[in-house]
């Protein structure tokens, strides 16, 4: 059982990170369809707008009520987010609420003192609405994945990417459920399942990057593939530890070290995309998106930067 304050801070931290992730998943799907499937693009657009609205409400609740860790660790936004949104808007014509990004960058962390029951109620309503909206997005992603896997629909998003973002949506829902039950979402005994989850996600990020770089970017592709293999191994290690109740310390240390290296690679890559120094079909906001996920994972392992 967590305290009222813990519930508020954990909920707002989680929502600020994941609502933006869900909003961007909706965007990546929206711009990936062929003209035939404009109805699918339209549904994705509506998800994007609804997540943006919810993120805006979460941001309003978050001022003075989020952890200092969330704000300093570049999980909710990074130093590149505004620029990545601006360039992505330039390429696609899809509008991004830059003001919201600026508001998030200016948030203040929770101070001493007791938060009130009214805030707790508002945060719980936010959790429940985030759960509901994400459940709808999960249905949509499942429908899309089925159509793509059975060759009834074409999209420029890899099938594995659709599966990957589906997994993240379900993960978000699981943690929202724990929070409304007033269970902690960062218990030490759950760390290994988080590592199992995020090592797989990190490995897939590396593989997506390798596959979206221009074939002429041979050195970057090779580095990305290396990260893919490393995280495949780390995923297997985490799986073994979780199944056989072995000592987690080694896996955590290795995952931490490798995630820091991948974070640096993603950061340099995002900068390279923004400065037009890398040839690829990676939409700039995707670079920033996967960078934020690495920052989030580092924080889970106790290494908020
Ligand atoms: Fe991801």
> The domain containing residue 30 runs over which residues?
1-66+107-172
Instruction: Give the percent of the chain with pLDDT over 70.
Output: 99
Q: What is the pLDDT of residues 180-203, one digit of tens each?
A: 999 999 999 999 999 999 999 999
Q: Report the sign of the C-alpha dihedral through residues 266, 284, 156, 30, in that order.
A: positive
Residue 112 alpha carbon to ligand 1 centre in Å: 34
Residue 125 alpha carbon to ligand 1 centre in Å: 26
Q: What is the pLDDT of residues 56-73, one digit of tens each?
A: 999 999 999 999 999 999
**Does residue 252 form part of some domain?**
no
Residue 158 alpha carbon to ligand 1 centre in Å: 13
Distance between CA 203 and CA 130 in Å, rounded? 27
**Does residue 55 form part of some domain?**
yes
**Does residue 72 form part of some domain?**
no
Residue 84 has pLDDT above 90, yes or no: yes
* CATH at 151: 1.20.1260.120
Distance between CA 138 and CA 234 in Å, rounded? 27
Q: Report the sign of the C-alpha dihedral through residues 86, 15, 75, 284, in that order.
A: negative
The residue-averaged pLDDT of 99-113 equals 92
Residue 218 has pLDDT above 70, yes or no: yes
Residue 34 alpha carbon to ligand 1 centre in Å: 23
Residue 65 alpha carbon to ligand 1 centre in Å: 26
The predicted structure's pLDDT at residue 111: 82
**Does residue 81 form part of some domain?**
no
Q: What is the pLDDT of residues 13-37, one digit of tens each?
A: 999 999 999 999 999 999 999 999 9
The distance in angstroms from the start CA to the end CA of the chain is 28
Tokens of 39: 């109805």
Residue 201 alpha carbon to ligand 1 centre in Å: 6
**CB 249, CB 193: distance < 8 Å:** no
**Does residue 21 form part of some domain?**
yes
The predicted structure's pLDDT at residue 114: 67
Residue 220 alpha carbon to ligand 1 centre in Å: 19
Residue 112 has pLDDT above 90, yes or no: no
**Does residue 301 form part of some domain?**
no
The residue-averaged pLDDT of 212-234 equals 98
| Residue pointed to by tokens 């938060």 | 115
Q: What is the mean pLDDT of the chain?
A: 97
Residue 138 alpha carbon to ligand 1 centre in Å: 15
Residue 41 alpha carbon to ligand 1 centre in Å: 20
Distance between CA 186 and CA 188 in Å, rounded? 6
Distance between CA 65 and CA 122 in Å, rounded? 12
**Does residue 30 form part of some domain?**
yes
**CB 50, CB 58: distance < 8 Å:** no
The residue-averaged pLDDT of 196-223 equals 98
Q: Report how many domains make up the chain.
A: 1
| Residue pointed to by tokens 């059982």 | 1
**Does residue 92 form part of some domain?**
no
Tokens of 192: 């290994």
């Amino acid at each position: 059982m967590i305290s009222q304050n813990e519930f508020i801070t954990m909920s707002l931290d989680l929502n600020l990170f994941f609502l933006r992730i869900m909003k961007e998943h909706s965007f990546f799907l929206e711009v990936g369809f062929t003209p035939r499937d404009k109805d699918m693009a339209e549904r994705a657009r509506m998800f994007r707008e609804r997540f943006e609205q919810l993120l805006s409400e979460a941001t309003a609740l978050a001022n003075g009520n989020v952890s200092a860790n969330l704000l300093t660790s570049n999980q909710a936004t990074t130093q590149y987010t505004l620029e990545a949104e601006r360039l992505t808007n330039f390429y696609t014509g899809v509008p991004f609420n830059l003001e919201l990004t600026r508001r998030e960058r200016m948030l203040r962390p929770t101070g001493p003192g007791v938060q009130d029951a009214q805030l707790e109620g508002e945060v719980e309503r936010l959790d429940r609405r985030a759960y509901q909206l994400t459940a709808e997005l999960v249905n949509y992603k499942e429908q899309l994945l089925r159509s793509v896997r059975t060759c009834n629909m074409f999209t420029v998003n890899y099938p594995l990417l659709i599966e990957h973002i589906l997994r993240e949506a379900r993960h978000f829902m699981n943690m929202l459920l724990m929070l409304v039950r007033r269970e902690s979402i960062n218990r030490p005994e759950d760390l290994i399942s988080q590592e199992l989850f995020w090592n797989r996600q990190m490995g897939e990020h590396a593989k997506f990057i390798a596959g979206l770089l221009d074939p002429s970017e041979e050195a970057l592709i090779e580095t990305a593939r290396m990260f893919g293999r490393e995280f495949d191994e780390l995923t297997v290690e985490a799986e073994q530890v979780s199944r056989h109740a072995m000592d987690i310390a080694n896996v955590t240390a290795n995952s931490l070290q490798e995630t820091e290296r991948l974070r640096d690679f993603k950061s340099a890559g995002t900068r390279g995309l923004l400065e037009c120094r890398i040839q690829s079909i990676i939409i700039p906001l995707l670079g920033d998106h996967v960078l934020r996920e690495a920052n989030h994972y580092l924080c889970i392992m106790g290494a908020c930067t």
